[in-house]
């Protein structure tokens, strides 16, 4: 049997479009208990039914900046008891309230990482330091790299072996969001500076036995010196799921993602909704749908 052509199960992404572990666990568990999700494609608005049983689902991939509610309620244990395999994309960036005003403190997020890696297999965790942001706040030029080393230290101690990063994409909705904030603007560093940052990150991570991957940074990856060890990421790596849990999955690229930009994610089904599941973290650089206005250093934007 060719596992690349005859998958027996699907992968559920929960979710690129919002933070389900932080805000929508009640909704998620209702769908799990009834055995399927009703999903609306955000681009063509077509409705589909996605099965949500262990017989149909190989792995559930959770994306979050706050796994606190997930851990406190024992959701992972409940899902495992039902027969699901789990994988985690945990975004842990520097403490920077201007950029991420409503995420838990870094100290709390690192505690969550420690518990997550002790309760579940650390090989089933991607640490995402994403995105790297440069910005100007009045006359000061800043970035969010200042806590990278202690986060890497903590991730290494937890046995996490993959770090995924990218530089902020300046989407139109982000420009609109910050337009009314006097004195604030995002800055796009030159490619030479970005390459320097990636190499410095790789040098730091190699000391912790962590490999660095870039998310949708095809041009930067091509410009790196040979044999750096930095590779393009697959935030949904079906090949790793098979290594961890066995079974059959498709290893094809997900055509709904930014393949041309270097995305290596494999096929999955995302069950989140930009419209129905707005995110309450209020991150200034978010491409999704924030639940409310965003505060920038005391200045409110819509």
All structural domains of the chain, each given as residue ranges with its CATH number in brackets, are: 10-133+143-169+189-273 (3.20.20)
**Percent of the chain predicted with pLDDT > 90:** 78
Given a cut of 90, is residue 77 above it in pLDDT? yes
Q: How many residues does the chain have?
A: 302
User: Which of residues 253 and 42 earns the better pLDDT score?
Assistant: 253
In this prediction the pTM is: 0.92
H/E stretch holding 39? strand 36-40
Over range 75-80, report the average pLDDT: 98
Nearest alpha carbon to residue 281 among 104, 147, 61: 104
Q: How far is CA 140 from CA 94, 137, 286, 296, in A?
A: 18, 5, 22, 14
- What pLDDT is recorded for position 244? 98
Tokens found for residue 288: 């999704």
For residue 159, is the peptide bond before it cis, meaning its omega torsion is within 30 degrees of 0? no
Q: What is the CA radius of gyration of the chain?
A: 19
Least confident of 37-46, 61-70, 117-126, 129-138: 37-46
Over range 127-133, report the average pLDDT: 98
- What pLDDT is recorded for position 8? 76
254-270 pLDDT, tens digit per residue, is 988 989 988 999 999 99
Q: Find how far residue 8's CA is from the centre of its chain.
A: 26
- What pLDDT is recorded for position 300? 37
CA torsion through residues 113, 233, 287, 148, sign: positive
Here the contacts of 289-297 (C-beta below 8 Å, separation 24 or greater) are: 289/17, 289/18, 290/177, 294/101, 294/177, 295/101, 296/98, 296/178, 296/181, 296/184, 297/98, 297/137, 297/181, 297/184
Nearest alpha carbon to residue 212 among 254, 261, 263, 152: 152
Distance CA 12, CA 267 (A): 9
- Count other Cβ atoms within 10 Å, centred on residue 211: 16
Over range 233-243, report the average pLDDT: 97
Given a cut of 80, is residue 122 above it in pLDDT? yes
CB 36 within 8 A of CB 291: no
């Amino acid at each position: 049997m060719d596992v690349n052509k005859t998958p027996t199960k699907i992968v559920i992404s929960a979710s690129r479009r919002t933070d389900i572990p932080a805000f929508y666990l009640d909704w998620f568990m209702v769908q799990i208990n009834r055995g399927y999700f009703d999903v609306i494609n955000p681009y063509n608005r077509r409705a589909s039914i996605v099965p949500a049983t262990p017989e149909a689902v190989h792995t559930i991939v959770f994306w979050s900046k706050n796994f606190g509610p997930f851990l406190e309620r024992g959701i992972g244990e409940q899902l495992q008891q039902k027969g699901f395999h789990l994988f985690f994309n945990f975004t842990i960036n520097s403490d920077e309230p201007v950029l991420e005003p409503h995420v838990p403190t870094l100290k709390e997020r690192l505690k969550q990482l420690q518990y997550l890696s002790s309760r579940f297999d650390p090989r089933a965790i991607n640490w995402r330091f994403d995105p790297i942001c440069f910005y100007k706040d009045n006359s000061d030029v800043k970035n969010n790299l200042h806590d990278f080393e202690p986060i890497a230290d903590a991730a290494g101690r937890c046995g996490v072996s993959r770090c995924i990063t990218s530089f902020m994409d300046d989407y139109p909705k982000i420009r609109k969001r910050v337009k009314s904030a006097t004195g604030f603007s995002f800055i796009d560093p030159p490619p030479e500076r970005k390459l320097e940052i990636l190499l410095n990150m790789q040098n730091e991570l190699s000391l912790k036995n962590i490999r660095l991957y870039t998310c949708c940074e095809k041009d930067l990856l091509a410009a790196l010196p040979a044999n750096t060890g930095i590779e393009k990421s697959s935030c949904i790596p079906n090949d790793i799921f098979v290594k961890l849990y066995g079974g059959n999955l498709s290893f094809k690229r997900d055509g709904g993602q930014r393949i041309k930009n270097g995305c290596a994610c494999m096929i999955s089904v995302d069950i989140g909704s930009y419209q129905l599941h707005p995110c309450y973290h209020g991150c200034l650089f978010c491409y999704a749908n924030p639940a409310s206005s965003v505060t920038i250093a005391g200045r409110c934007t819509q």
